[in-house]
Copies of this chain bind each other. A is one copy, B any other.
Amino acid sequence: MQQGIQLILDNISKIVSLTKEEQDLFVSKLQYVEYKKKEFFLHEGQFSNELNFIIEGCVLVFYTDQSGFSHLIQFAIEDWWVGDIASSTHNIPTQLNIQAVEKTKVLRIKKEDLETVFEAIPKLERFFRILLQKRVANLQQRIISSLSKTATERFLEFREQYGYLENRITQIQIASFLGVTPEFLSMIRRKLNSSNK
């Protein structure tokens, strides 16, 4: 856990600098949680009232449609924040699932504790404001890609941005992130390989 604390404080200090006292207050609200491979953080229909910082492991955030198909909204690994902003902002049950794909260790803070801490430490609210700006930029880029690029182009973009994940999650999951079937992604990969020789 010590190691996790250092990681989360370093993560924050990239954007804002907290005093020792502020760090201690924030850390006092954190809870350490471990998930086994395939275990769920959150199931569709539940209320999300927590924000998680991943110390170790990898999680997927996905939506399951009426036909039972999953669509990958986001993934997160070490040093990333993950939570269901829609559910906790609007106080509605989540439509998402969050699942560990590996043994995953997180530091978690409850929504109400976070709000208390924001009162005491405005700099921390700034940190999350900036984090949200980055997330908006990222989501907007994904929408631009989905509107203007072919599946092959989106896959190449995925590789550039998230190449280190290519061997950590399955092709089925990558396909569901890109919005294509795994079969079609298999063909895309084959074509890319043959044209690179």
Contacts and interface: CB of A to CB of B under 8 A. Distances in A.
A124 to B, nearest CB: 10
A126 interface: yes
Interface residues of A, number: 34
A44 to B, nearest CB: 12
Contact of A85 (B69, B133, B179): B133
Copies in the complex: 2
Given A148-B63, A179-B146, A136 B86 contact: yes
Nearest to A71: B147
Nearest to A92: B137
A85 B131 CA distance: 12
Contact of A144 (B71, B85, B89, B133): B71
Given A125-B125, A179-B146, A89 B133 contact: yes
A143 interface: yes
| Nearest 7 CB-CB pairings of A with B | A86-B137, A132-B132, A122-B122, A139-B139, A71-B147, A89-B133, A129-B129
